Amino acid sequence: MKNVHRRVRRFGIVAASLATILLGTSCGADPDAGSVPTPRTSSADPHGAGHGTVDVPPAAPLRSGERFVELGMPRPYRPSARDGGTDEYRCFLVDPGLTEPAFLTGSQFLPQNGAMVHHAIFFRLDAAAVASARELDAATTGDGWTCFGDAGIGDAAWVAHWAPGANETLLAPGVGYPMPPGSQLVMQVHYNLIDVRPGDDTDRSGIRLRLVGGGEDVDPLHTELLPAPVELPCAAEERGELCRREAALRDLGRRFGAESGGQPERLNRYCNRGRAPVAGSTQHCDRPVTEAGLVQAVAGHMHLLGRAIRIELNPGTPREQVLLDIPTYDFDEQANRVLPRPVAVRPGDVYRVTCTHDVTLRQRVPQLRNLPPRYVVWGEGTSDEMCLGIVVLSRPD
């Protein structure tokens, strides 16, 4: 039961920054941070293991050429779930004030309310897309906008994220995410509201960025996302309308909209080459490598029913390599794994991500125990599931 307890210790995630190269682990709020509020901690835990607690150690010292930039929400935000759901994905536009080229070389997410912050992802918007994001923000009631799945605006590039087990993220020397002049970030926060308590129902999270000037000798980074289907049926002894796959798909669309509701079928069409989905605890997907690069780090993301995740390169061939192998998945340990040596990939290579989920955990994890049983597919909610491999590549000039 040790791993079950760890799944609920800090119930706060798609998923890290899962998309960056972790070389140091130091997560925290500087007492002189100024614009970014100090994260809250909670010792009262209805689940019995530090629910809502966010430990925030100090940031590591700045390295040569780096500077800190702190960003956050303008005011506390009170999330709300739609149509009887328990999750909201909210996006906020945050401006690092860049007037010259820069590279993002590290990040430290500061989750203020760990009881509801499930994960956060940061997407870069180039200057040309910022006006559209501002219009979307202005047209939406309250701060930010709803954004299930992605940033909800244009061609946004994933450059950082946080999930349980990820502290401060330091990129390896000589690599970084390009940040052109005028570019801004979309901060997507996944709020899970299953156990929100009165008086503790707002959040004002932020992030501390490490930036270096664009004139530095830095190889640009790129993040590849490798999703695979989830087709997990109810246990033999479970009964209910949502144990029917068709009913579960309709419920997913009701909670998160048609675009998110259609994701399970799109994944099946791609990964199963048009064949009908086969229910089972283990699923995989093969995806071709489209651009040459050096794989620097990898990570895997699932939700509370995850048991194991694996990322392979060129499986079943003489050039097979295992990039990530987590045989005992722990929701609280989602930091990325730096490869001992970068692995070269090129067009013609194939990634495979494989996930195993365990439906019996539904009766053992407190957050899920009182929810109706369901056929579990890929979905945005904490009671749904994901199978996501994350590959971080550098592209030397």
pLDDT tier at 162, thresholds 50, 70, 90: confident
Phi and psi at 227, nearest 5°, equal: -80, 150
Neighbour tally for 44: CB within 10 Å = 11
Q: Note whether 194 and 246 are same-domain residues.
A: no
Q: Which pLDDT does position 223 carry in this prediction?
A: 87
Q: Note whether 156 and 94 are same-domain residues.
A: yes
Task: Give how far Cα 250 sits from Cα of 3, 168, 262, 378, Å.
Answer: 32, 39, 9, 13
Predicted confidence (pLDDT) at residue 288 exceeds the cutoff of 80: yes
Q: Which pLDDT does position 397 carry in this prediction?
A: 62
Residue 182 or residue 29, greater confidence:
182
pLDDT tier at 3, thresholds 50, 70, 90: very low
Containing 127, the helix (H) or strand (E) segment is: helix 127-139
Distance (Å, whole) CA 267 – CA 229: 6
In which region does residue 91 sit, left (phi positive, over 0), alpha (psi from -120 to 50) or beta (all else)?
beta
The domain tally of the chain equals 2
Nearest CA to 115 out of 48, 57, 194 is that of 194
Q: Note whether 11 and 160 are same-domain residues.
A: yes
pLDDT tier at 242, thresholds 50, 70, 90: very high
Amino acid at 84: G
Q: 307-342: per-residue pLDDT in tens?
A: 999 999 999 999 999 999 999 998 877 777 889 899
Phi and psi at 324, nearest 5°, equal: -150, 135
The overall average pLDDT reported for the chain is: 83
Q: Note whether 244 and 163 are same-domain residues.
A: no
Predicted confidence (pLDDT) at residue 29 exceeds the cutoff of 50: no
Phi and psi at 94, nearest 5°, equal: -130, 140
Amino acid at 317: T
Last-in-domain residue among 197, 216, 235: 216
Per the CB < 8 A criterion, the answer to whether 220 and 107 are in contact is: no
Distance (Å, whole) CA 106 – CA 172: 9
Per the CB < 8 A criterion, the answer to whether 312 and 352 are in contact is: yes
Neighbour tally for 133: CB within 10 Å = 23
Predicted confidence (pLDDT) at residue 173 exceeds the cutoff of 90: no
Q: Which pLDDT does position 55 carry in this prediction?
A: 65
Q: Note whether 204 and 279 are same-domain residues.
A: no
CATH code (residue 8): 2.60.120.310
Q: 58-73: per-residue pLDDT in tens?
A: 889 999 999 999 999 9
Predicted confidence (pLDDT) at residue 293 exceeds the cutoff of 90: yes
Distance (Å, whole) CA 54 – CA 167: 10
Nearest CA to 338 out of 169, 124, 159, 216 is that of 169
Predicted confidence (pLDDT) at residue 356 exceeds the cutoff of 60: yes
Predicted confidence (pLDDT) at residue 141 exceeds the cutoff of 90: yes
Q: Note whether 290 and 310 are same-domain residues.
A: yes
Q: Note whether 207 and 282 are same-domain residues.
A: no
Place of tokens 């140091």: 24
DSSP 242: G
Phi and psi at 120, nearest 5°, equal: -145, 140
Q: What percent of the chain lies above the pLDDT cut of 90? A: 57
Distance (Å, whole) CA 261 – CA 255: 8
The pair of structure tokens assigned to 45 is 């835990």
- What are residue 206's DSSP bridge partners? 72, 110
For residues 269-276, average pLDDT? 92
Q: Which pLDDT does position 9 carry in this prediction?
A: 31
Q: Note whether 191 and 240 are same-domain residues.
A: no
3-state secondary structure of 94: strand
CATH code (residue 376): 2.60.120
Q: Note whether 142 and 286 are same-domain residues.
A: no
Distance (Å, whole) CA 234 – CA 279: 10
Distance (Å, whole) CA 339 – CA 106: 18
Domain interval for residue 384: 223-394
Highest mean pLDDT among 142-151, 212-221, 252-261, 327-336 belongs to 212-221
Q: Which pLDDT does position 165 carry in this prediction?
A: 67
Distance (Å, whole) CA 297 – CA 23: 10
Q: Note whether 276 and 388 are same-domain residues.
A: yes
DSSP 10: T
Distance (Å, whole) CA 39 – CA 383: 25
Q: Note whether 231 and 167 are same-domain residues.
A: no
pTM: 0.76
The pair of structure tokens assigned to 173 is 């020397």
Q: What percent of the chain lies above the pLDDT cut of 70? A: 84
Q: 96-119: per-residue pLDDT in tens?
A: 999 999 999 999 999 888 888 888
Q: Which pLDDT does position 285 carry in this prediction?
A: 98
Per the CB < 8 A criterion, the answer to whether 331 and 366 are in contact is: no
Last-in-domain residue among 199, 216, 233: 216
How do 175-179 and 219-227 pair as beta strands? parallel
Per the CB < 8 A criterion, the answer to whether 376 and 248 are in contact is: yes
Last-in-domain residue among 216, 240, 266: 216
Q: Note whether 230 and 154 are same-domain residues.
A: no
